[in-house]
Amino acid sequence: MKPKRILSMQDLSCVGQCSLTVALPILSHYGVETCVLPTAVLSNHTQFRSWSYLDLTEEIPAIFAHWQESGILFDGFLLGYLGKKSLMSLAEECFDRFGAPNSPVIIDPVFADEGKLYSGFDLEYVQAMAQLITRADIIDPNVTEACFLTSTPYDPNYDKIFVEELAHKLSRLTNATVVITGVEFDGKIGELIFDGKTEYVMLPKLPAKYHGTGDIFSSVMSAHYLGGKRLSECCLLAGQFVADCMRATPADHPYGVCFETRLKQGD
Ligand code: PXL
């Protein structure tokens, strides 16, 4: 059977594994033909003290023109860190021009964590993202991003009622299935999935936090989803994958988790 072809649209950070340096190997590992639309090249991700940034937005119309000429279509889209509002209309154009019939759009909004916006993001960006997710089939924000998208003040001591209300509010913004990631209760961490009904996929919480694990989660989830698995199973497999990577990573490792060790182990 011909592999599914996905387009991953996000930045290329040269150092510090996240976004495309994570999506590309992981999606390929799971047998998905992975195409990329790099939106910017950074010397390293923005959790380092400083970084260079080459914006590739201006190149995108030319890339689209050649894809059009070659009749390229994608069976799915995975969006991560975009970083610039102007990329969102290009993303929508991309879905319209290059989406094969029934190609799912998976959007990880990537702009905040632990109650705060990442460096370089503002509320205008959040508003634009709230608009872009109306085009998604699946969104997987973390709790902070879900709060910003729904104009809900972040509460670090949230409970189940709070996150379920967030999921309801998000599903009033978009028809997408909502996956709120990094939900923590009672020593466990996982996802709340809401598509009209609520489901939790929880695993034991490990005592560490690393950069880029959200991107790994989205990549593994998307690979399994394109492979035809139910979304709750995709989330469970992605959560287990992230936990395995974390176990293989030394403490205080600012370069992302060692997912290569996990890939060597096979499925
Ligand atoms: O992992 C998300 C991410 C992706 N790309 C860049 C980032 C971040 C998070 O900070 O800085 C450039």
Whether the Cβ atoms of residue 81 and residue 19 lie closer than 8 Å to each other: yes
DSSP label at residue 168 = H
Please tell me if the CB atom of residue 131 comes closer than 6 angstroms to any atom of ligand 1: no
In sign, the C-alpha dihedral spanning 171, 172, 176, 182 is negative
Count the helix, strand and coil residues of the chain and give each as a percent rounded to the nearest 5: 40, 25, 35
Please tell me if the CB atom of residue 212 comes closer than 6 angstroms to any atom of ligand 1: yes
**pLDDT value at position 254?**
86
**pLDDT value at position 266?**
85
Q: How far apart are CA 240 and CA 146, in angstroms?
A: 23
Q: Which residue owns the Cα nearest ligand 1 atom 10?
A: 46
Q: From ligand 1's centre to the CA of 267, what distance in Å?
A: 26
Q: What is the pLDDT of residues 82-130, one digit of tens each?
A: 999 999 999 999 999 999 999 999 999 999 999 999 999 999 999 999 9
**Residues 65-93, mean pLDDT to the nearest whole number:** 98
Nearest to 47 by CA among 126, 147, 120, 132: 120
Q: From ligand 1's centre to the CA of 46, what distance in Å?
A: 6
In the predicted structure, residue 69 carries a pLDDT above the cut 90: yes
Residue 185, beta-bridge partner list = 188
Percent of the chain exceeding pLDDT 90 equals: 97
**For tokens 């690393």, what's the residue?**
210
| Ligand 1 atom at minimum distance from 42 CA | 12
**pLDDT value at position 142?**
98
| Ligand 1 atom at minimum distance from 211 CA | 1
Band (pLDDT 50/70/90 cuts) for residue 234 is very high
Please tell me if the CB atom of residue 46 comes closer than 6 angstroms to any atom of ligand 1: yes
The model's pTM: 0.98
Query: Domains in the chain and their CATH numbers?
Result: 5-265 (3.40.1190.20)
Please tell me if the CB atom of residue 215 comes closer than 6 angstroms to any atom of ligand 1: yes
**pLDDT value at position 1?**
81
Q: How far apart are CA 35 and CA 113, in angstroms?
A: 27
| Ligand 1 atom at minimum distance from 22 CA | 1
Please tell me if the CB atom of residue 42 comes closer than 6 angstroms to any atom of ligand 1: yes
In sign, the C-alpha dihedral spanning 60, 220, 115, 48 is negative
Q: Which residue owns the Cα nearest ligand 1 atom 7?
A: 45
**pLDDT value at position 252?**
85
- Output the average pLDDT for the chain: 97
CA distance to 91, 133, 145, 200, 264, per residue, from 150 (Å): 21, 12, 9, 20, 40
Q: What is the pLDDT of residues 8-63, one digit of tens each?
A: 999 999 999 999 999 999 999 999 999 999 999 999 999 899 999 999 999 999 99
Q: How far apart are CA 228 and CA 7, in angstroms?
A: 17
Whether the Cβ atoms of residue 106 and residue 36 lie closer than 8 Å to each other: no
Q: How far apart are CA 64 and CA 84, in angstroms?
A: 18
**pLDDT value at position 15?**
97
